[in-house]
């Protein structure tokens, strides 16, 4: 499997990743590190008790990592959580709606990690 095939299989945006990281070797290096990075786990953990500050910080970090790697869907989901808990922003979602986004983050992340594992094992 090529890196471009990986991105196609996980619904990622290879072109975005190449715009940010410039060379395929760097994309390969960082996409291999993604599963162990823990950015998604931090968001899920913060969501267990709806800790607004922790959710903002973890989702903001996740949004940046995922946007840079071209993991568009994860970046968009993290962005929604980031904006919901950004200091000074009024809450617009119920806790249930936030939990649904966190559930989707977990689901998409599992699919992404499975794809990356298939890529690294090939």
The structural domain count of the chain equals 1
Query: Distance between CA atoms of 2 and 121, rounded to whole angstroms?
Result: 12
62-114 pLDDT per residue, tens: 999 999 999 999 999 999 999 999 999 999 999 999 999 999 999 999 999 99
49-72 pLDDT per residue, tens: 999 999 999 999 999 999 999 999
Query: Distance between CA atoms of 59 and 78, rounded to whole angstroms?
Result: 5
Report the predicted TM-score, pTM, of the whole model to 2 decimal places: 0.95
CA distances, 120 to each of 73, 105, 113 (Å): 21, 22, 10
Domain containing 37: what range? 3-121
């Amino acid at each position: 499997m090529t890196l471009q095939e990986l991105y196609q299989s996980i619904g990622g945006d290879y072109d975005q990743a190449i715009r940010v990281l410039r060379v395929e070797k760097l994309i390969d290096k960082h996409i291999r590190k993604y599963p162990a990075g823990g950015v998604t786990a931090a968001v899920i953990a913060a969501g267990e008790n709806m800790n607004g500050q922790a959710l903002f910080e973890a989702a903001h970090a996740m949004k940046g990592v995922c946007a840079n790697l071209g993991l568009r869907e994860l970046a968009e989901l993290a962005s929604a959580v980031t904006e919901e808990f950004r200091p000074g922003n009024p809450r617009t979602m119920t806790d249930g709606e936030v939990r649904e986004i966190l559930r989707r983050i977990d689901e998409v992340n599992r699919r992404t990690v499975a794809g990356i594992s298939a890529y690294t094992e090939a």
